[in-house]
Amino acid sequence: MIRNTAVTVCGPLNVNKLGVTYVHEHLMVKPQLPDEYYIPYTLDDEAASTEETRSFSAAGGETLVEMTPINYGRNVKAYQRIAQATGVHVICCTGFHKQLFMPPWFGDKTDGELYDILMNEVTNGLDDTEIHPGVIKLGTSFEEVTAAEKRSIEAVARVHRDTGIPISTHCDKGTMGMDQLRLLEKHGVDPKNVLLCHIDSKMDTDYAIRLCLEGATICLDHVGRELQDRDSYRVRMVTALVEAGCVDHVTLAGDMGKKNYLPAYGGKPGFTYILTDLKAELLPYIGEENFHKMMVENPKRIFAWKYND
């Protein structure tokens, strides 16, 4: 992979063209569990997801990173059609979620077979297509890293080392970020190449700062869940991160993989929220330059592949 290149569902792209980026979203997703609890977490209307993506573009958004991994209802052909219809760049992923959502065959595979599955997706394409992932995912459980999750982390680390594909992680309710970094470091991954997601949902600003000081980048992506007070806690968290000198390690997204988060599915606040309402709340405290770093410069660095053959 050529340096300074990201991989989108429509092919390689110079990272300078990514522009305003949400680093953790969902466009089409269907958790693979027979439980009615997950019905609201199913986004299966391509027309509605396309409409929501158009609203993101109209608000100034340019790139969405679709973080639906193996066995979570990924639909890469739909992502490509949405990108083509809207002009929004879409980056999709390979990798595994936390143990609850791992494929039923995961435990039957050897470490080498798990590596081969991920490498095949990176090099040959996803789900019998020529669409390639631009990021690789790993996940851990709430306040726990299971044995299976440790195997997933090792496989992801190996693929990252061999290809340079960026790593983005699921920190359940914001937990286990430091443990993920330690395990990835054990397998040869530099924290500066890791994006830790959902960190704001732990509601611990000191913890968020510590992760940044380790060299990792964090994503605050549960914004829009507390509209009654205009996300005042997260505004304070972002402000504190900027004041602590961590702005180069912070990104924003909505992780809006649920019907009642998206106006096109009848919910709110939708893909426009960060670039309109939340931005208006943040700018008096952090200024336009720092907002630009979080939305443009930091994602550009993260999604540039680090390997140069």
- Average pLDDT rounded to a whole number, residues 157-170: 97
What is the per-residue pLDDT for 225? 86
What is the per-residue pLDDT for 306? 78
Interhelix angle for 232-243 vs 279-292, to 10°?
30
pLDDT band at 23 (very low <50, low <70, confident <90, very high): very high
Residue 269 burial (C-beta neighbours within 10 Å; 0-12, 13-18, 19+)? buried
What is the per-residue pLDDT for 65? 98
Which residue's entry shows tokens 């992760």?
A: 211
Q: What are phi and psi of 176, to 5 degrees?
A: 70, 20
What is the per-residue pLDDT for 34? 86
- Average pLDDT rounded to a whole number, residues 197-217: 98
Neighbours of 297 (CB within 10 A): 16
Residue 108 burial (C-beta neighbours within 10 Å; 0-12, 13-18, 19+)? exposed
Token output for 96: 């595994």
Residues in the chain: 309
Spatial separation of the C-alpha atoms in residues 187 and 263, rounded to whole Å: 42
SS (H, E, C) the chain: CCCCEEEECCEEEEHHHCCCEEEEECCCECCCCCCHHHHHHCECCHHHHHHHHHHHHHCCCCEEEECCCCCCCCCHHHHHHHHHHHCCEEEEEEECCCHHHCCCCHHHCCHHHHHHHHHHHHHHCCCCCCCCCCEEEEEEECCECCHHHHHHHHHHHHHHHHHCCCEEEEEHHHCCHHHHHHHHHHCCCCHHHEEEECHHHHCCHHHHHHHHHCCCEEEECCCCCCHHHCCHHHHHHHHHHHHCCCHHHEEECCCCCCHHHCHHHCCCCCCCCHHHHHHHHHHHHHHHHHHHHHHHHHHHHHCCCCCCC
What is the per-residue pLDDT for 2? 63
What is the per-residue pLDDT for 229? 83
pLDDT one-digit tens code per residue, 142-155: 999 999 999 999 99
Spatial separation of the C-alpha atoms in residues 280 and 68, rounded to whole Å: 29
Spatial separation of the C-alpha atoms in residues 71 and 32, rounded to whole Å: 6
Neighbours of 220 (CB within 10 A): 26
Q: Which residues contact 55 (CB under 8 A, 6 or more apart)?
A: 263, 264, 270, 271, 272
pLDDT exceeds 70 at position 92: yes
Which residue's entry shows tokens 């429509």?
A: 10
What is the per-residue pLDDT for 307? 55
Per the prediction, the chain carries an average pLDDT of: 96
